[in-house]
């Protein structure tokens, strides 16, 4: 099947091809965090979807150049700095660092570039673009000294959001006299300085001020990726006005089609409502880690549902993520035991499990791809139960796993230690030693379970947990695993 994605602009599934025919280079721009607080896991749903997109394109042999901006100047960051009585950069810096920490925890590939809006290079570009828009009649300075985009002069305005401008005029929700704009939908390109901005501001031909959020992205995207970009992503809340405005500004300056394909992910919900800072119904990554979950478990929970389907966040869902990953871990362990030396010898066999990649080709249908993975696990486990899976086949599936794990990045990266009745403690990797204290607790726990003293066994599990080790009871005995990402 051809690789295809749902393009928000056309509202259709379209076959994907890079803008330069024959080229394997793909440019992607993704709207990054506004660093006025720590990002919540809703934001990370968007970043995980973008990570899946990049990794799948790479699996298909494309070379991806991805840019993710950091919005480090806007109303919220200025207000935050002012309340904290520190400079803007001092205020945003810890949130930038926290963001990089969190993407590492979730194994999200770093973008090639993370431009920050306050970088003078991009401020210069924003000013240059605004100058061109004014010269073309697409921008104007109003009485309040701010500069606005004249949406009536850009006939395609509203095409991305499939928005009827006459509706915008008729709602009357925003009082006209609060604004000095010609049209209620005109948006700020340059906001004139006022007292609330404190020492935040840059000189421009229109006086001291700061850029609007939308022009920040247009400037950084075109500066780093050129006038035409293959794919632009974000959450659905970015469609209007942010991405609509990005199109108007960028195309208003370059006269070229800004983006070939627009991909937007649905929201992460809590009790049916969007997870957001303003509703206060959010969790950060450290919040979820504190509950004992790991980065890869959060990664799984945020990735497992198709990106265009709203995903409800629940603790039950986190438990399911843990169980699903546990099944993958156990399966890999079994395959490795059977494959033995075959693993190194066997060649990569592309006939194994093409269904996984096919599902992702179809607009990143991860639910179908994971469905295939778990069906494979079920079938191969059944064969292993009956001693019907030979070493070469086990090695073939492991090679397949290594390939798809380039996309999923779900592997635990840690070894397990089994505690089985009548069996000596066994480690699969001597470099990953089991501390004596942990070994002693695990041994005691195995004895407690044999004696059916479940209260004691639960206590011992908690003690192991506190030391950073997870105890799981499987039909093959007790499995002790170092927790990752904590």
Please give the structure tokens belonging to residue 151: 């949406």
Q: Are the CB atoms for 482 and 429 separated by under 8 Å?
A: no
Integer Cα distance of 8 and 418 in angstroms: 50
- Binding flag, residue 31, Zn ion (CB under 5 A): yes
| Interface residue with ligand AMP, options 33, 209, 357, 485 (CB under 6 A) | 33
Q: Are the CB atoms for 417 and 434 separated by under 8 Å?
A: yes
Please say which residue, 108 or 134, places its beta carbon nearer to ligand AMP: 108
Please say which residue, 31 or 359, places its beta carbon nearer to ligand AMP: 31
Strand partners for 474? 477
Please say which residue, 46 or 130, places its beta carbon nearer to ligand AMP: 46
| Interface residue with ligand AMP, options 9, 26, 29, 45 (CB under 6 A) | 45
Please give the structure tokens belonging to residue 402: 């290594």
- Binding flag, residue 288, Zn ion (CB under 5 A): no
- Binding flag, residue 115, ligand AMP (CB under 6 A): no
Nearest distance, CB of residue 215 and ligand AMP, angstroms: 15
Q: Are the CB atoms for 486 and 294 separated by under 8 Å?
A: yes
| Interface residue with ligand AMP, options 3, 46, 151, 259 (CB under 6 A) | 46
Please say which residue, 217 or 369, places its beta carbon nearer to Zn ion: 217
Of the candidate spans 25-33, 141-149, 347-355, 425-433, the one that interacts with Zn ion by CB under 5 A turns out to be 25-33
Q: Where are the alpha helices (DSSP H) in 153-292?
A: 165-170, 213-225, 244-254, 285-290
**Interaction partner, residue 276 (Zn ion, ligand AMP, none; CB < 5-8 Å by kind):** ligand AMP
Of 96, 40, 90, which is closest to residue 68 (Cα–Cα)?
Answer: 96
Nearest distance, CB of residue 208 and Zn ion, angstroms: 24
| CA 333 vs CA 339, 394, 414, 416, 461: distances in Å | 10, 11, 11, 9, 22
Contacts of Zn ion in 195-224 (CB under 5 A): 217
Nearest distance, CB of residue 217 and Zn ion, angstroms: 3
Query: Which residues, including other chains, have CB under 8 Å from residue 128's CB and lie 6 or more apart?
Result: none
Of the candidate spans 24-32, 37-45, 158-166, 190-198, the one that interacts with Zn ion by CB under 5 A turns out to be 24-32
Integer Cα distance of 380 and 335 in angstroms: 9
Of all residues in this chain, which one has the CB nearest to ligand AMP in the complex? 235
**Interaction partner, residue 217 (ligand AMP, Zn ion, none; CB < 5-8 Å by kind):** Zn ion
Of the candidate spans 26-34, 200-208, 257-265, 349-357, the one that interacts with Zn ion by CB under 5 A turns out to be 26-34
**Interaction partner, residue 389 (Zn ion, ligand AMP, none; CB < 5-8 Å by kind):** none
**Interaction partner, residue 80 (Zn ion, ligand AMP, none; CB < 5-8 Å by kind):** none
Nearest distance, CB of residue 49 and ligand AMP, angstroms: 8
**Token match 């105890």: residue?**
471
Integer Cα distance of 397 and 405 in angstroms: 12
Integer Cα distance of 256 and 30 in angstroms: 19
Nearest distance, CB of residue 482 and ligand AMP, angstroms: 31
Integer Cα distance of 357 and 365 in angstroms: 9
- Binding flag, residue 42, ligand AMP (CB under 6 A): yes
- Binding flag, residue 126, Zn ion (CB under 5 A): no
Compute the radius of gyration of the chain from its Cα atoms: 26
Contacts of ligand AMP in 204-243 (CB under 6 A): 234-235, 237-238
Of the candidate spans 217-225, 243-251, 261-269, 363-371, the one that interacts with ligand AMP by CB under 6 A turns out to be 261-269
Please say which residue, 103 or 328, places its beta carbon nearer to ligand AMP: 103
Please give the structure tokens belonging to residue 306: 């198709």
Task: Report the 10 Å Cβ neighbour count for 394.
Answer: 23
Please say which residue, 32 or 353, places its beta carbon nearer to ligand AMP: 32
Please say which residue, 184 or 217, places its beta carbon nearer to Zn ion: 217
- The values of phi and psi at residue 302, to 5°, are -85, -20
Contacts with ligand AMP by CB under 6 A: the residue count is 17
Q: Are the CB atoms for 306 and 365 separated by under 8 Å?
A: yes
Strand partners for 70? 116
Nearest distance, CB of residue 341 and ligand AMP, angstroms: 46
CA 90 to chain centre: 26
Sign of CA pseudo-dihedral 295, 296, 297, 303: positive
Contacts of ligand AMP in 274-303 (CB under 6 A): 274-276
Please say which residue, 28 or 343, places its beta carbon nearer to ligand AMP: 28
Query: Which residues, including other chains, have CB under 8 Å from residue 45's CB and lie 6 or more apart?
Result: 235, 265, 267, 268, 302, 311
Task: Give contact residues for Zn ion (rule: CB under 5 A).
Answer: 31, 217
Footprint of ligand AMP (CB under 6 A): 31, 33-34, 42-43, 45-46, 234-235, 237-238, 265, 267-268, 274-276
């Amino acid at each position: 099947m051809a690789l295809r994605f749902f393009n928000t602009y056309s509202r259709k599934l379209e076959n994907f091809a890079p803008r330069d025919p024959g080229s394997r280079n793909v440019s992607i721009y993704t709207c990054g965090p506004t660093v006025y607080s720590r990002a919540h896991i809703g934001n990370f749903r968007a970043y995980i979807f973008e990570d899946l997109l990049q990794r799948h394109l790479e699996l298909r042999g494309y070379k991806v150049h991805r840019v993710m901006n950091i919005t480090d100047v806007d109303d919220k960051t200025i207000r935050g700095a002012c309340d904290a009585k520190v400079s803007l950069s001092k205020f945003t810096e810890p949130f930038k660092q926290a963001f990089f920490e969190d993407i590492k925890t979730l194994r999200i590939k770093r973008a090639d570039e993370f431009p920050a809006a306050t970088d003078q290079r991009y401020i210069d570009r924003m000013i240059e673009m605004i100058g061109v828009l004014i010269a073309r009649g697409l921008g104007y300075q109003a009485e309040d000294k701010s500069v606005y985009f004249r949406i009536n002069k850009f006939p395609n305005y509203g095409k991305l959001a499939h928005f009827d401008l006459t509706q915008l005029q008729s709602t009357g929700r925003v009082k006209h006299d609060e604004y000095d704009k010609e049209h209620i939908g005109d948006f700020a390109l340059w906001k004139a300085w006022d007292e609330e901005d404190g020492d935040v501001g840059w000189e421009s031909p229109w006086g001291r001020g700061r850029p609007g959020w939308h022009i920040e992205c247009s400037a950084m995207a075109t500066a780093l990726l050129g006038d035409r970009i293959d794919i632009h992503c974000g959450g659905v809340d970015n469609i209007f006005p942010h991405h609509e405005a990005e199109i108007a500004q960028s195309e208003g300056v370059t006269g070229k089609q800004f983006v070939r394909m627009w991909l937007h992910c649905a929201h992460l919900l809590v009790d049916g409502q969007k997870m957001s800072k303003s509703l206060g119904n959010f969790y950060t990554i450290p919040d979820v880690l504190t509950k004992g979950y790991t980065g890869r478990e959060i990664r799984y929970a945020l990735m497992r549902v198709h990106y265009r389907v709203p995903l409800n966040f629940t603790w039950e869902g986190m438990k399911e993520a843990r169980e699903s990953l546990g099944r993958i871990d156990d399966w890999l362990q079994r395959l490795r035991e059977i494959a033995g030396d075959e693993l190194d010898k066997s060649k990569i066999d592309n006939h194994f499990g093409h269904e996984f990649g096919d599902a992702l080709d179809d607009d990143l249908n991860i639910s179908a791809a994971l469905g295939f993975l778990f069906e494979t696990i079920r079938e191969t486990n059944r064969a292993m139960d009956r001693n019907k899976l030979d070493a070469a086949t086990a090695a073939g599936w492991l090679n397949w796993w290594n390939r798809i794990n380039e996309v999923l990045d779900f592997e635990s990266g840690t070894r397990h230690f089994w505690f089985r009745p009548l069996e000596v403690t066994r480690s699969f990797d001597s470099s990953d030693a089991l501390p004596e204290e942990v070994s002693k607790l695990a041994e005691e726990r195995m004895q407690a379970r044999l004696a059916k003293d479940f209260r004691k066994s639960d206590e011992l599990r908690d003690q192991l947990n506190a030391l950073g080790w997870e105890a799981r009871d499987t039909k093959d005995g007790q499995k002790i695993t170092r927790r990752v990402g904590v």
